[in-house]
Amino acid sequence: MPANLKRSTGEAATASLVDVPRVPGAPKPDPIVKGDNITRTFGGLKAVDVQHIEIQRGVITALIGPNGAGKTTLFNLLTGFDVPDTGAWSFNDKSLAKVAAFKVARAGMVRTFQLTKVLAKLTVIENMRLGATGQRGEKIWSAPFKSLWGSQEDEITARADELLERFKLDAKREDFAGSLSGGQRKLLEMARSLMVDPELIMLDEPMAGVNPALKQSLLGHVKSLRDEGRTVLFVEHDMDMVREISDWVIVMAQGQIVAEGTPESVMADPAVIDAYLGAHHDTDLTELDPAELEAQAEAELDAEAAAEEAKE
Amino acid sequence: MDFGNIIDAALSQALGPQAIVFALAAIGLNIHFGYTGLLNFGQSGFMAIAGFGLAVSVVRFDLPFFVGVLIALVTPVLLALVLGVPTLRLRADYLAIVTIASSEILRLILGAVEFKDVFGGSNGLTGFVRPFQDLNPYSGPLDLGIVSWSRSDLWSLTVGWILVALGCLLVWALMRSPWGRILRSIREDEDAVRSLGKNVFSYKLQALILGGVFGGLAGLFHVLKQGSAVPTDFNTTFTFYAYAALLVGGAARVLGPVVGSIIFWFLVAGLGELFDQLTDGSGVNLPTWLMTDTQASLVRFIVLGLGLMLLMIFRPQGIFGDRREIAIDAR
Ligand SMILES: Nc1ncnc2c1ncn2[C@@H]1O[C@H](COP(=O)(O)OP(=O)(O)O)[C@@H](O)[C@H]1O
Ligand SMILES: [Mg+2]
């Protein structure tokens, strides 16, 4: 873990945000990410149009908003997987605009994908090992000689095994990642991104498709990331989850940030209810039973997967 | 029918110099396609540039033979850079188009009358392999009863199979390493690899260069065992036969390309001899409405193609491939 990660707690995180105004683009006392005027258009559609965004260090920030609000696109832009039309942003005060995705990850800002990207034809443990940075055996000149990287590989494997145990994937260690269930893939992807040892971890719908039993433990994992000093930014549809674990919520709609605040304040905001709940205007999301929410999330995920496939 | 002749023809090709050329080229394609998922359809271009790299250095510039060999191994690196740098950031199909086009361009330039002074036109270049033959330690031909090789073939075989063995050793050592893990991951999902902080472009370029150098070795060996560099030897069918050999043996397996090349040449030569005997007018013969003697040498490729199709349907991972790697859907 980087030396500059300080252990933190839920209370400390909440305390650090009490004085932050509950307005879109609110400045934070200790931002790890700062962005300005970030826009991205697809054809005529303005998918992202963010005036100002700051992510507080050491807290769990939820990014919510209806489907198509631009959350994934914003993730893609911030992590170098897509190029913006305009905009500048910094991570730890280092400008990361137009920086290649792999350099963003190396800088300590690691993301997962809405449609999981586990390497199906590698085993679970190999997926994990791949995540470790600074591997001597990744250099072509030293790769043929195991004596040069074998001991480091053992250290990496030990670290990977610890994480697998923590994420309850140790029984699957030698299985091909392609044989995992959707929820297990989400877990593996999260665990693998931790192998990079990121300061900021960005999770795109980590709970989508995860069965309710696994969800509770996933929530615990996300909290533990904050408690060990990492900053978490995650996209989620399930309002119960957002309420339960996030310290701060940013709401997007039609590419813009329309509201910010604590989970309680945001969910009481009429503008949010309007933008986010949209079609479910007269249902209180929190009163839907979990199975129904699940089905809803699945349906949305499937629709996006289909759209993604159609694009390819 | 003379089965002895058929086996002789099949074995002497399967273990002979031609199989070595294919094995080396297919080892390169295995690094490209099998491990990294790069579609190089111009392996013959890498062969040509290396083969002529040696020939031109020695014949036209009077450089020492071993300097020529060195140049022959550097030229594929340059070709890989020229082809890879502009295309490896783009979608996979760009590399495929650029490699196939460049290999044809190279072949046409090498055979062009306009450049006869440099490359020797369609006859190519000869007279540069003397130092290689002078190193031949054998005193006579080898006759194993069922197969036999001339003294110079024997020398080529020794050098060639040693090269193949060393190549396999290198590929084995590389692919069990973290470097190889990155290549196999890139084959599956580049973005996942990027998201973990790996410079995907650089690794793809390294793979293209390394596989290209194996293509170069194949070309170098080809001109050495043949004693001449001839442009038409390096046409695109070569690349596709090498792919066929790779797929038969099994992609992403260390020995896949070698076993594939041996089997490929065993079948090409064995079937060729078999059909020859069945159409030569003596002994057992096929009716001429089915096959004439002029068709015989072509029919074997039809049969081979059919066999390849069946293999892809019933054993898509090739002979050595890992069923699990194929059977699991990525989604
Ligand atoms: N590559 C793309 N090409 C065209 N349109 C896109 C592309 N990616 C996203 N979009 C569009 O941009 C909008 C925002 O999408 P996205 O960021 O995926 O939303 P969210 O993650 O909030 O559901 C949607 O209308 C979507 O259709
Ligand atoms: Mg999304």
At CB < 8 A and 24+ separation, what contacts does B165-170 make? B167/B24, B167/B27, B167/B214, B167/B217, B168/B27, B168/B254, B168/B255, B168/B258, B170/A144
Three-state secondary structure call for residue A43: coil
Task: For residue B328, give the nearest of A166, A301, A123 by alpha carbon.
Answer: A123
- For the segment B19-36, what is each residue's pLDDT rounded down to a tens digit? 999 999 999 999 999 999
State the average pLDDT over residues A250-255.
Answer: 92
Confidence of residue B324 (pLDDT cuts 50, 70, 90): low
Restricting to B residues 66-125, those with a Cβ less than 8 Å away from any Cβ of A are none
Q: Is the pLDDT of residue B327 over 60?
A: no
Contact A217, A22 (CB under 8 A): no
Structure tokens at A28: 């934070």
Rg of chain B in Å (alpha carbons): 21
- Give yes or no for residue A303 CB within 6 A of ligand 1: no
Residue A276 is given by DSSP the state: I
ipTM above 0.90, yes or no: no
Q: Is the pLDDT of residue B126 over 50?
A: yes
Q: Is the pLDDT of residue A279 over 60?
A: no
pLDDT of A155: 97
- Give yes or no for residue A301 CB within 6 A of ligand 1: no
Backbone angles phi and psi of B229, in degrees to 5: -110, 110
- For the segment B32-80, what is each residue's pLDDT rounded down to a tens digit? 999 999 999 999 999 999 999 999 999 999 999 999 999 999 999 999 9
Q: Is the pLDDT of residue A286 over 50?
A: no
> Ligand 1, closest atom to CA A48?
14
Chain A residue at shortest CA distance from B323: A121
Please work out, in degrees rounded to the nearest 5, the angle formed at the alpha carbon of residue A173 by the alpha carbons of A172 and A179: 45
Structure tokens at B221: 């060996």
- For the segment B144-203, what is each residue's pLDDT rounded down to a tens digit? 888 888 999 999 999 999 999 999 999 999 999 999 999 999 999 999 999 999 999 999
| Residue that wins the pLDDT comparison between A14 and A160 | A160
pLDDT of B98: 96
d(CA A67, CA B218): 54
Query: Judging by beta carbons within 10 Å of its beta carbon (0-12, 13-18, 19+), is residue A222 exposed, middle or buried?
Result: buried
> Residues near B102 by Cβ (< 8 Å), separated by ≥ 6?
B42, B45, B79, B82, B83
Contact A182, A206 (CB under 8 A): no
The minimal CB distance from A102 to the residues B198, B206, B329 is found for B198
Angle at which helices B17-29 and B200-226 cross, to 10°: 170
Residue B178 Cα to ligand 1 midpoint, Å, equals 35
d(CA A146, CA B154): 35
Q: Is the pLDDT of residue A310 over 60?
A: no
DSSP B224-284: HHHSEE-GGGG-HHHHHHHHHHHHHH-TT-SSHHHHHHHHHHHHHHHHHHHHHHHHSSSSS
Domain A3-118+180-287 CATH class label:
alpha beta
d(CA B19, CA B261): 6
Confidence of residue A289 (pLDDT cuts 50, 70, 90): low
pLDDT of A305: 60
| Residue that wins the pLDDT comparison between B129 and A307 | B129
d(CA A236, CA A306): 19
Three-state secondary structure call for residue A22: coil
Confidence of residue B328 (pLDDT cuts 50, 70, 90): very low
Q: Which of A130, A154, A155, A204 has the highest number of chain B CBs within 10 A, making it the mutation to test binding with B?
A: A130
- For the segment A126-140, what is each residue's pLDDT rounded down to a tens digit? 999 999 999 999 999
Contact B265, B275 (CB under 8 A): no
Q: Which residues share a beta bridge with A200?
A: A109, A231
Give how far A131 is from chain B: nearest CA, Å.
6
Mean pLDDT, chain B, rounded, equals 92
Give how far A62 is from chain B: nearest CA, Å.
20
> Ligand 1, closest atom to CA A255?
14
Among the bound ligands, the one closest to the CA of A83: 1
Determine how many CB atoms are found less than 10 A away from the CB of residue B155. Answer: 19
Ligand 2 ion: nearby residues, β-carbon < 5 Å: A 72, 114
The minimal CB distance from A117 to the residues B176, B184, B191 is found for B191
Q: Is the pLDDT of residue B325 over 70?
A: no
The minimal CB distance from B179 to the residues A129, A133, A137 is found for A137
- Give yes or no for residue A190 CB within 6 A of ligand 1: no
State the average pLDDT over residues A222-226.
Answer: 92
d(CA A111, CA A76): 9
Q: Does residue B251 sit at the A interface (CB-CB below 8 Å)?
A: no
Task: For residue A115, give the nearest of A305, A268, A312 by alpha carbon.
Answer: A305
Contact B196, A129 (CB under 8 A): no
d(CA B19, CA B32): 20
d(CA B159, CA A221): 58
Residue with CA nearest ligand 1 atom 12: A47
| The dihedral sign for the CA sequence B132, B137, B139, B145 | negative
- Give yes or no for residue A200 CB within 6 A of ligand 1: no
Mean pLDDT, chain A, rounded, equals 87
- For the segment B76-120, what is each residue's pLDDT rounded down to a tens digit? 999 999 999 999 999 889 999 999 999 999 999 999 999 999 999
Q: Does residue B283 sit at the A interface (CB-CB below 8 Å)?
A: no
- For the segment B253-279, what is each residue's pLDDT rounded down to a tens digit? 999 999 999 999 999 999 988 888 888
Q: Which of A135, A138, A175 has the highest number of chain B CBs within 10 A, making it the mutation to test binding with B?
A: A138
Domain boundaries, chain A: 3-118+180-287, 125-176
State the average pLDDT over residues A202-218.
Answer: 86
Q: Which of A41, A67, A73, A77 to mutate to test the pocket of ligand 1 (most atoms within 8 A of CB)?
A: A73
Give how far A286 is from chain B: nearest CA, Å.
31
Chain B contact set for A130 (CB, 8 A): 178, 181-182, 185, 193, 196, 198
Give how far A11 is from chain B: nearest CA, Å.
31
**pTM for this model (two decimals):** 0.90
Residue A146 Cα to ligand 2 midpoint, Å, equals 41
Chain A residue at shortest CA distance from B205: A140
Residue B114 is given by DSSP the state: G
Residue A277 is given by DSSP the state: I
DSSP B17-77: HHHHHHHHHHHHHIIIIIIT------HHHHHHHHHHHHHHHHHTT---HHHHHHHHHHHHH
Chain A to chain B Cβ contacts (< 8 Å): 111
pLDDT of B50: 98
Three-state secondary structure call for residue B83: helix
Task: For residue B52, give the nearest of B282, B270, B231 by alpha carbon.
Answer: B231
Residue A113 Cα to ligand 2 midpoint, Å, equals 9
